[in-house]
A and B are shown apart, each in its own frame.
Chain A
Amino acid sequence: DAGVIQSPRHEVTEMGQEVTLRCKPISGHDYLFWYRQTMMRGLELLIYFNNNVPIDDSGMPEDRFSAKMPNASFSTLKIQPSEPRDSAVYFCASSLSGGGETQYFGPGTRLLVL
């Protein structure tokens, strides 16, 4: 079975550019989560969706960040414009309601903003 898929795995961009990170959750999972990992703040939840609907975006740091889930098999996290302090590893995770509480993580996207 395919796990959570994220692309790209690495992204290097210049300050001010738009960055789009992509995620495909595990088939059949109805919850999707976006996390960010930095040295200073550790692993923190940014936003999560249930059945493609955003439920809680209280962790999204600024208006420069936006996330969408147009269908059950695809989600994007967009940063526009990007800043050097956005450099981090971004993880996507998915889980299944009624199937336990476990969230399954993708391999992450390592973002470097110069």
Chain B
Amino acid sequence: DQQVKQNSPSLSVQEGRISILNCDYTNSMFDYFLWYKKYPAEGPTFLISISSIKDKNEDGRFTVFLNKSAKHLSLHIVPSQPGDSAVYFCAAGRRFQGAQKLVFGQGTRLTINP
């Protein structure tokens, strides 16, 4: 049973435009959400996070939105750049014994076209 879903396996966006990546979750006990970016042959790299007590967090070109009632979060990248081409994973966490147990989505491959 997938608790975290990224329904779009891939997304193609023109350079300079906005990229919007979506993620849905089912467990209302999750209290922390993260986005990771992954290049081939590398480990996931932390991008941005949001606590369940907030509905928006912004860091430069990256903004994460959280809609708890809909159990939905999204990542906005504005403006999109060629270097943003990667696989993006959303993760949802629930604190257990002092650490966040993360559940990851399947990933969305983002391609930024020049």
Contacts and interface: CB of A to CB of B under 8 A. Distances in A.
Interface of A: 4, 31, 33, 42-45, 48, 50, 55-56, 91, 93, 95, 97, 100-108
A4 B102 contact: no
B19 interface: no
B43 A105 contact: yes
Interface string B29-54: 00010101000011111100100000
Interface in B61-114: 89, 93, 96-107
12 contacts: A4-B43, A42-B104, A42-B106, A56-B97, A91-B43, A95-B100, A97-B99, A101-B32, A102-B34, A105-B43, A106-B43, A108-B41
Identify which of B45, B99, B100 gathers the most chain A CB atoms within 10 Å of its CB: B99
A102 B97 contact: no
Nearest to B48: A102
Interface residues of B, number: 24
Given A42-B106, A45-B102, A101-B34, A50 B97 contact: yes
Contacts of A100: 49
Q: Which label, helix, strand, loop or mixed, suits the secondary structure of the A interface?
A: strand
Interface of B: 32, 34, 36, 41-46, 49, 89, 93, 96-107
Contacts of B104: 42-44
A105 B98 CA distance: 19
B43 A55 contact: no
Given A42-B107, A45-B102, A55-B99, A105 B34 contact: no
Contacts of A103: 46, 100, 102
A104 B46 CA distance: 7
A111 B103 CA distance: 22
Given A97-B99, A103-B102, A108 B46 contact: no
For the complex of A and B, 6 pairs with smallest distance between CB atoms = A105-B43, A43-B104, A101-B100, A55-B97, A42-B106, A105-B44
